[in-house]
Structure formats: structure tokens, C-alpha cells
Amino acid sequence: MGREENHCYGLKLITVSRKWFHLLLLLSILVTVQAFDYKDALTKSLFYFESQRSGRLPYNQRVTWRDHSGLTDGLEQGVDLVGGYYDAGDHVKFGLPMAFTVTMLSWGVIEYGEQIAAAGELKHALEAIKWGTDYFIKAHTNPNVLWAEVGDGDTDHYCWQRPEDMTTSRQAYKINENNPGSDLAGETAAAMAAASIVFKQSNPHYSHLLLHHAQELFEFGDKFRGKYDTSIGVVKSYYASVSGYMDELLWAALWLYKATDREDYLKYVINNANGFGGIGWAITEFSWDVKYAGVQILASKFLMDGKNMEHSDILEQYRSKAEYYLCACLNKNNESNVDRSPGGLLYVRQWNNMQYVSTAAFLLTIYSDYLKSANQKLHCKEGIVDAQEMLIFAKSQVDYILGSNPMSTSYLVGFGSKYPKRVHHRGASVVSYKECKGFIGCTQGYDNWYGSKDPNPNVLVGALVGGPDNQDDFTDDRGNYMQTEACTYNTAPLVGVFAKFHQVEAENLSQLQSLVTSY
């Protein structure tokens, strides 16, 4: 073989070697992108809402360790308040967090309904929403009356027993003209308006009914203004409305505008932008209490769609505040950033911090989509961020939740090989009613189960617990309620996000498989 032939042969070897190198690289990426099963996380997240159901459970109930409970709720007041959700590990039905839960579930379906359907979970997502809205319809007994709460935290926390055995007070509390609650009326209106969009195609009659209730509730909340925790004192220690009611009224008006396309709702948001703090408050959290970031992002979407340009000056100010929140989460807002743990988790406060992580992941994810659709970028004080960078950061928070963290723990219960086994939850921590129908008294649960070091007998699948502290440390102890209690509004924002990332991973996988095939 001549020198020239040897040289060509060497080039062929190098070319083949490079091909194999690229192939191995692609395969390694393929393994990496499959690190988490987002479809499984989505499925499990929807299980959780069945664990939290109050009332008479349906024939297709999948969480079999639960049974009927709260079947006399409202009886003393002469109203049917059976149904709805327990918000966390106790058995009070708190209206404000329940409504926010339903709003976020609905928003997730509005943004990612196709992805949820592709994962085979749309039916369960709609059931989760409807379980809440059916209850809100019952609770809204008069245009200017909304039942706000069933039970009270003080007597409920005295006991540790299953919901099926409840002996605690089921006193019901309402808001009306004389005892207003604009925050609660506004959030419930937002939930029903958002849900009316969800059901518009599949169940138009139900959608129309929800919209009717939403409009009445908004009018009630706006006409008779006041904080619901002033009218209902028993809620102050548990779900006090620290932000007041103005953010909820803006929030409700925006959802009603989105549901109806009626100009008067948008004008409400424009005319009250300054007086209600919509363009005045730059906030670094989004939660069941503080809606400003959600309001500002919804308003930004209307601007980015190229609609309502006659209001562009005000909408631009809403957008500026929305991007303040987003830039703070991305650590690009100079000194006004959201803190992070050493492991990279957004950290707002000690108590149930994961609620702020899941809402941030949701807002970052949808805003990434908004930017991509509009071919725009986010302008922060410390640089420009494109849609992909924003999505990557949102994914880092979701992956932290699912186990990519210093504790190598999934904070979504039941997901992965290591997750909290001693969740602070009465029903999950006591032997199932299906297994032991004998009555368990008020304090009996404390005696036999609360202090036990054993794992809970029932796995609270899909619950997002409060999570680790600011140093990424987590103690799996039933008494450590700041970290081990889960809430419906923690998991609700993740439903849409899990569906989105399942789609992204499926697309990545398809692209990689095409590249591998080309070799």
C-alpha cells in the first residue's frame, strides 16, 4: 500500500472514530435527558387530589385508602356543603387556598391541555378541577353569599384522626354584604372563570354555569369590599389575607376578561392598575395569598398577543413588574433576587417553601412559552434572557423537586426510590378506614400513630411537601410540619409543568433518535 493510500486509510479511521464518538455522545445525552419520568410525575400529582377529597367519594376513586367523610357539612346551617378539598394534612375546608388550587389547576390545563391529553391524564385533570368547582357552586348560595370555611383550625388541630372519623367542629362560616370578603370572592370568581374556559368545549352548559357564578362573585366582591379574615376571625391564624383583597379583584377581572372577552373587565384592570397596586407592587413571590405576579404575567400576555394596544402604556407597566418577578427568580435583578439554597433551590421562607418553588416554576415555564411565541426576550438588570434559558432554569427547579438535590430525595411523595415516608397528614399516617373500620377517637391518633417512627401506612402519592431548609437539609419526621406537610396549592401548579416537560423530553428523545438513526 502506497503512502497516499495509507494516508487515506488513516483519514477513514479518523472519520469512523469521530462518528462513533458522536454516537456515544448522543447516547450519553439520551440517558441524561431521560433522568426523570415527567409523565409518571404528572400521573402521581393528579392522584394527590383524590387523597384530599372531602364528601362522598365517587365509584372511580383511585386512592383506595380513603373513604367518605364530611357528609353532614353545612347541615347545621341548612346548606349543603358536602364536597370540596381538605387543604393539607388537616380537615378544615379553607376557601381561599382551595380556590387558588382550582385556579392553578385550570390555568395549567388552559396552557398545557394538549400535553396533558397526550400523556393520557386530561380526564383526571378535569375531574380534579370539577371536584372543586362543584363545591364552589354549592357554597355560592346567593349572589351576595359565599360559604368560606367548614371547620376551624383550632379544634381540628387538637385532634389527630382520620377524616372518616371526624369528631371536630364542622361549623361553617360565610361572607355576605355585612361581612365582606373581597379576596375570597375574587379568588373564587377567578377559579370559576378559569374553569369555565377549561370546560367550554367539553361541557358548555357547565362552563356557562361557572361563568355565571364567577360574574356574580366578582360583582359581590367589588361592591362590598373588605378582607375575609376580618369578617371570619377563625381563619386569621391559618390563612390570613396579608396582601389584602385588591390583587384578587384584579386577578378575577383578568380571568373574566379572558373568559368573556368583555372590554369592561379589562378596563377594570386598567383603571385600577395604580390604585390597586397592579403596577405599583413589584413582588418576588406568587402564592395563594399574593397574586400580583400572576396578574402582571396575565396582563403581559394580552400585550404580547398584540391586542388592546390602546391600553399599551398601562399594560407595559404591568409587564415591567412581571419581569421584575421573573428576573428576581433568575438571579438577574441586582440586589432584589430571590434567595437560593446552596443546591440551587429558590428559597422564600422557612414554612412550606416548596409552594413558592412550584408557582415560580409554573410562571417561568409559561412566560418562556410566551416569549418564544412572540419571538421576544426578557430584559433584566443584569442581562438579557432568552426563552430557552428561562425554561432551563424552570426545569432545574422541577428536577430539584424530583430528586436532583443534595439530599437525593424526591419531595414529590411516591415518586422515585427515595421520598418522605412520614408526611404530616392525619389520614395518611393512621391505618386506613378500609382496613380498620373501628372508630379512632380524637386523641387516639396521637397515642398510636403521630409519634411513631414507622413510615405512614398510606402513601400520599403526588403530594409536594414543604421541602428542605435554606441549606438543603430535610428531616423526614411527622412532627416536622414546616417541612413534611403537603398542601393542594403546592402540587397544583406542577400539573401543567410536568406535562410541558414530558413533551419537551419526548421531542428531545425523538430528535436524538433521528440523529442516531442517521448514523
Percent of the chain predicted with pLDDT > 70? 91
Smallest Cα–Cα separation from 139: which of 228, 225, 203? Answer: 228
* Integer Cα distance of 332 and 115 in angstroms: 30
In angstroms, the CA 10 to CA 172 distance is 84
Residue 17: predicted pLDDT: 56
Average pLDDT over residues 414-435: 96
144-191 pLDDT, tens digit each:
999 999 999 888 989 999 999 999 999 999 999 999 999 999 999 999
pLDDT band at 235 (very low <50, low <70, confident <90, very high): very high
User: Bigger pLDDT: 445 or 287?
Assistant: 287
451-478 mean pLDDT: 97
d(CA 249, CA 186): 5
CA angle 483/488/493 to nearest 5° reads 100
Domains of the chain: 34-518 (1.50.10.10)
DSSP state of 284: S
Q: Who's near 500: CB < 8 A, 6+ residues apart? A: 111, 112, 115, 365, 369
Supply the pLDDT for residue 329: 97
Measured CA to CA, the distance from residue 224 to residue 232 in angstroms comes to 15
The answer to whether the CB of 101 falls within 8 A of the CB of 488 is yes
Q: Measuring CA to CA, which residue among 232, 147, 234, 221 is closest to residue 177?
A: 221
At residue 33, the pLDDT reads 47
Query: Longest Cα pair distance anywhere in the chain, in angstroms?
Result: 101
Q: What pTM, to 2 d.p., does this model score?
A: 0.93
How far is 118 from 354, CA to CA, in rounded Å? 27
* Confidence check: pLDDT of 28 > 70: no
Active-site residue among 311, 424, 425, 502?
A: 424
Which pLDDT value is given to residue 503? 93
The enclosing H or E element of 389 equals: helix 387-402
DSSP state of 69: B
CB 89 within 8 A of CB 477: no
Q: How far apart are the first and last CA of the chain?
A: 29
Burial class of residue 9 (count of CB atoms within 10 Å of its CB; 0-12, 13-18, 19+): exposed
Q: Work out the pLDDT band at 5, boundaries 50, 70, 90.
A: very low
User: What is the pLDDT averaged over residues 388-398?
Assistant: 97
Angle of CA points 218, 213, 246, to nearest 5°: 20
Confidence of residue 25 (pLDDT cuts 50, 70, 90): low
pLDDT of residue 13: 39
pLDDT of residue 392: 96
Nearby residues of 322 by Cβ (< 8 Å), 6 or more positions away:
293, 296, 297, 299, 300, 367
Residue 165: other Cβ atoms inside 10 A: 22
DSSP state of 390: H
Residues near 152 by beta carbon (within 8 Å), at least 6 away in sequence:
92, 169, 171, 234
Residue 266 sits at φ, ψ, to 5 deg, of -65, -40
Q: State the chain's mean pLDDT as an integer.
A: 92
> In the predicted model, is pLDDT for residue 334 greater than 70?
yes
Give pLDDT tens digits for 248-298: 999 999 999 999 999 999 999 999 999 999 999 888 999 999 999 999 999
User: Is the pLDDT assigned to residue 29 strictly greater than 90?
Assistant: no
pLDDT (average), residues 24-34: 51
pLDDT at 46 > cutoff 90? yes
Long-range contacts of 509-513 (CB under 8 A, 24+ apart): 509/30, 509/33, 509/34, 512/26, 512/29, 512/30, 512/33, 513/30
Task: Please check the confidence at residue 515 and state whether its pLDDT lies above 60.
Answer: no
How confident is the model at residue 118, as a pLDDT? 97
Q: Which of 12-21, 270-279, 434-443 has the lowest mean pLDDT?
A: 12-21
What is the spatial distance between Cα 496 and Cα 87, in angstroms, rounded to a whole number? 20
Contact by Cβ (8 Å): 507, 376: no
Q: Is the pLDDT of residue 8 over 80?
A: no
Q: What percent of the chain has pLDDT over 90?
A: 84
Active-site residue, 424 included:
yes
pLDDT band of residue 512 (cuts 50, 70, 90) is low
